[in-house]
Structure 1
Amino acid sequence: MTPVELSRTVRRAVRRAVDSGELSVAVPERVVVTPPRPGGCGDYASNVALQLARPAGQPALRVAHVLRGHLLRAEGIDDVSVTGPGFLNISLRGGDTHAAVLVERILRSGAAYGCVDHGGAEVGGSASTSHVVHLHSACEVRAVVAADVLARLLRAQGAAVSTSCAGEPSAAWGDVFGARLDSHGASTAPPGTDTVTVRPVPAPADPLPLGRDAGRWALLLPAGHDRPRISADPHLVQRESNPLFRVRYAHARTRALTRNAADLGFHAEPGAPSGAQAEALLGLLADHPRILTRAAELRAPDVLARHLVGVADAVTPFLAGVLPVGEEKPSAAHRARLALAEAAGTVLAGGLSLLGIDAPDHL
């Protein structure tokens, strides 16, 4: 059962409760389901009971228990627990494990996993509220690149964003790094706009010789209050000491595995791969939407960059066990591991795209 299907199942439970006279409310057009928050349990959670409590004229806990009874009779649901003030925590039945659902959600969402659609809902997950932000950058290359990425992150979270630079940026910053802001000069944000000044510690040297990808990475990986290191080593070397190389190499490996699996006659199918490596990787992938939100809220692209390094370092050792060895035939376990590898590659590609960095399929 996918998140969309589960959302419809919860909505049908509301309709059954209304039809039976247990609740007197308008059935919502859409019900949001998300991974459980700390203190929750199961595969998914919904706060629909809290939303319906006031119009129903009943306590949220009462509404939650009414809906629980209808959900327990729905196909594909194993158990429903009520926690806190009235959250529904839903466990899926049989093979519909949290791991399989998470991987399927990532593969369905693609590079948009963890971002927000135009209706204000996370693609494959939770909801967000749109707001207006104006980013005013210092006229310095690191600040301009950071403002460009922050605009991407905030838009990915559903915000409307405008940008400006305190002076006229160098044309090379746009030509080489692809960092272009809307205007330059004094900040002219309209009234009521959340204005943010982007002024990280300046780059100690010209990053243009590093090129677009390595240059952006060198400027974005350190926290804004830290001085970036602008040099060919480690940013241009193709070895493990270079974090950007590790991220892009891990992504390229996942794409190579997909090609190799096709040559062997099998493809990915979300499942529940076992082992400590798989569990660690699943935890990082499940945390990706929160990381995007945190990077946007803290105005900190480095939060996303470090997360991608963590995903790359977790997936690389896992990849060795994805394909069959020797005369071994492809099994459901191989297909599930391949799906998890592809999901990790999807997260790496989407994250690099938000940083304005290319994710090549071949490296």
Structure 2
Amino acid sequence: MERGSDPAVLPDEVTVERPRNPEHGDYATNVAMQVAKKAGMNPRELATLLAAALTAADGIDTAEVAGPGFLNIRLAAAAQGAIIAKILAAGERYGTADTLAGTNINLEFVSANPTGPVHLGGTRWAAVGDALGRILIAQGAAVTREYYFNDHGAQIDRFANSLVAAATGAPTPDDGYAGAYIGEIADTIVAANPGAAELPEAQRRELFRREGVELMFAQIRASLHEFGTDFDVYFNESSLFESGEVERAVATLKSSGKLYEKDGAWWIASTEYGDDKDRVVIKSDGNSAYIAGDIAYFHNKRARGFDLCIYMLGADHHGYIGRLKAAAAAFGDDPATVEVLIGQMVNLVKDGVAVKMSKRAGTIVTLDDLVDAIGVDAARYSLMRSSANSSIDIDLDLWTKQESVNPIYYVQYAHARTCRIIENSAAFDFASVTPDFAAMTADREGELIRTLGEFPRIVATAGETREPHRVVRYLEELAGVYHPFQSDNDMRVLPQGDEPLTPRHAARLELVKATRQVLRNGLSLLGVSAPERM
């Protein structure tokens, strides 16, 4: 075998990227530098061999060696038509894959306590979580979107006490919940149950607790639905205790030696998995600590057949990473079965000043407040435009502008422009002309085609990294390539005046159709509309 010809020296994956400088070609790779030593050659020598082989391949115009052994590759113009044809043939399926086929994922997000409206942090997860679910499904996974309904514990007692206080005209308890929504719910309960405020204390508290939670959660579900986020499962925390699952899960861990006893309490060794301290599961008084419910909940998910449990939690929940992974290990599962994503804070800004007060919630800004201010599409898009693990400021003035400085307007307008061209093309006999993709040799044409070809890789990476913002930024890049293409008089898709209809016009129309499809697919993954007119 000739030196350098053994395919075993090749890595499992070859990285091919688009150069920042288009003069360096359409794609570039450093594979020769990666494997030269194994092949017994210097990088430039191996790169020269690879360049010769690539240049002889169908669809490759040139392959040139640069620097210490980089390969710069330029596609043949006619080969670019294959990218367009692939997009149009796949349609809504373009960008999907079967990478995660057979993987059953439980994706839990939002899970806000039913003690008030969804605040901005939860709203961010509603956007990011829903988009992540769509992206994972696009990669072949079976995804169950789940909302963990926290209807058990002290916070529910405080909520009930706040409702009773509002109904009876008493001051809000020091540890209670304020805001107009508390009075609204209390009034609704009283209207449906005349005399509720005069019931014996225990009976009154139970009535306001039960009906208050139902009413609050109905509002939460309605707000999320209007926001475009729905769940497959609403799981009640209380069911874990009422069914005895918490007791059984704890007993299992005790009997297997996965909990240890100290100071009269039972502990789980969560420090072994990154927690800052071991956690009490059963307190010295025999009552369950909050983590006991989390442990039983994870066990319940695994019993339902989920291969991967993704938890999307707020900024103050870093400690949950270690304790949930410890719970997985305690039940004999790989800690990698658990993934915890932490989201950071969201701030609203208007006229250069932070917006801090809600109309109904008093001290917080809610999902409904944001939607009222900028609309559903802009709200979703703005919340997932940056990595969820970084804090963001949302400028309400920016996101309501019908101008290109508004990112969502910029992307949606690109889609609307493609629709307008396709609609106007009906006035011409394009059916009589065969597209000539080899004629599309202009830089703007090639850049747009190559950008479209990147979409499947972007979606795959967004799924692997759990980062929907990668799709957002890609769409802005695509719009940034398409707008100059359409505005360039030399890139006309439709003939003007007495200009004849040519095969190049037909090829460009196919390119516009492919652009529309990719914009539409990307926006769909984000749960954002693709308007045909703006």
- What TM-score range do you get, normalising by the shorter chain? 0.5 to 0.7
Q: Does structure 1 residue 107 correspond to structure 2 residue 271?
A: no
CA distance in 2, matches of 1:270, 1:328: 19
Tell me if structure 1 keeps the 8 A contact 2:108–2:148.
no
Secondary structure of 1:300 counterpart: coil
Alignment counterpart, residue 219 of structure 1, candidates 383, 394, 399? 383
Is 1:359 the counterpart of 2:530? The answer is: yes
Structure 1 residue aligned with 2:476: 309
Please tell me whether Structure 1 or Structure 2 has the larger radius of gyration of its CA atoms. Answer: 2
Contact 1:133–1:195 under 8 Å retained in 2: no
User: Which amino acid counterpart does residue 357 of structure 1 have in structure 2?
Assistant: V
Question: Can you list the C-alpha shifts for 1:242-264, whole angstroms capped at 9, x where unaligned?
Answer: 11111111111112111212211
Aligned partner of residue 227 in structure 1, secondary structure: strand
Residue 116 of structure 1, aligned match among 75, 85, 96: 96
Compute the displacement of 1:355 (Å): 0.4
Match for residue 125 of structure 1?
Answer: none
Residue 79 (structure 1) shift: 11
How has the CA–CA distance of structure 1 residues 270 and 167 changed in structure 2, closer, same or farther, with 3 Å as cutoff? farther
Question: Greater helix percent: which structure?
Answer: 2
> Is contact 1:138-1:144 (8 Å) kept?
no
- Give the letter for the 1:193 counterpart: T
**CA shift at 1:338, angstroms?**
1.3
Structure 1 unaligned blocks of 5 or more: 1-33, 45-73, 81-89, 122-128
Contact 1:218 1:228 in 2 (8 A): yes
Matched, 1:208 2:208: no
1:92 to 1:288, Cα distance in 2 relative to 1, 3 A: closer
> Aligned in 2, Cα 1:347/1:77: closer, same or farther, shift over 3 Å?
closer
The one-letter code of the counterpart of 2:223 is W
Could you tell me which of 499, 510, 517 is aligned with 1:339?
Answer: 510
Residue from 154, 175, 178 that aligns with 2:225: 175
Q: Structure 1 residues 119 and 147 mapped into 2: Cα distance closer, same or farther (>3 Å)? A: closer
CA distance in 2 between partners of 1:272 and 1:173 (Å):
51
Q: 1:160 matched to which residue of 2?
A: 142
Query: C-alpha separation between the residues in 1 aligned to 2:484 and 2:62?
Result: 35
Q: Say if 2:129 is the partner of 1:147.
A: yes
Amino acid of the residue matched to residue 227 of structure 1?
D
SS in 1 for 2:394: coil
Residues 352, 171 of structure 1: alpha-carbon distance in 2 compared, 3 angstrom cutoff: same
CA distance in 1, matches of 2:125, 2:524: 19
Give the Cα separation in 2 of the matches to 1:220 and 1:92. Answer: 34
What residue is the counterpart of 1:328 in the other structure?
499
Is residue 88–residue 514 contact of structure 2 (8 Å, CA) maintained in 1?
Answer: yes
Q: Work out whether 1:266 is the aligned partner of 2:430.
A: yes
Give, in whole Å, the separation in 2 of the partners of 1:196 and 1:221.
20
- Percent identical residues: 31
Q: 1:143 to 1:329 in 2, by over 3 A?
A: same
Q: How far apart are the structure 2 equivalents of 1:92 and 1:211?
A: 42
The structure-2 alpha-carbon separation of the partners of 1:226 and 1:272, relative to structure 1 and needing over 3 Å to count, comes to farther
Note the alpha carbon deviations across 1:70-112, whole angstroms, 9 max, x for none.
xxxx9999999xxxxxxxxx9998x741x11111111111122
C-alpha distance in 1 between matches for 2:223 and 2:437: 42
SS in 2 for 1:162: strand
- Say whether 1:247 aligns with 2:411: yes
Q: Distance in 2 between matches of 1:120 and 1:323?
A: 42
Please say if residues 136 and 463 of structure 2, whose CA atoms lie closer than 8 Å, have aligned partners that are also in contact: yes
Q: What secondary structure does 1:102 align onto?
A: helix
TM-score normalised by L of structure 1: 0.67
**SS in structure 2 of the partner of residue 228 of structure 1:** strand
User: Which TM-score applies when normalising by structure 2?
Assistant: 0.47
- The answer (yes or no) to whether the contact 1:131–1:159 under 8 Å persists in 2 is yes
Call closer, same or farther: CA 1:342–1:134 in 2, change over 3 Å.
same
Give the length in aligned residue pairs. 327
Moved more, 260-269 or 241-250: 260-269
Q: Quick check: 1:136–1:197 contact (8 Å CA) kept in 2?
A: no
The whole-number CA distance in structure 2 between the counterparts of 1:286 and 1:77 is 15
Asked if 1:228 corresponds to 2:394, the answer is yes
Q: Aligned partners of 1:273, 1:77: CA distance in 2, in Å?
A: 15
User: Any unmatched runs of 5+ in structure 2?
Assistant: 1-15, 20-24, 28-56, 64-72, 113-121, 151-216, 238-293, 299-308, 310-327, 329-334, 348-364
Contact kept, 8 Å, 1:135 with 1:196, in 2: the verdict is: no
Residues 1:264 and 1:201: Cα distance change in structure 2 (over 3 Å) = same
1:193 aligns with 2:337: yes
Say if 2:387 and 2:467, in contact at 8 Å, map to a contact too: yes
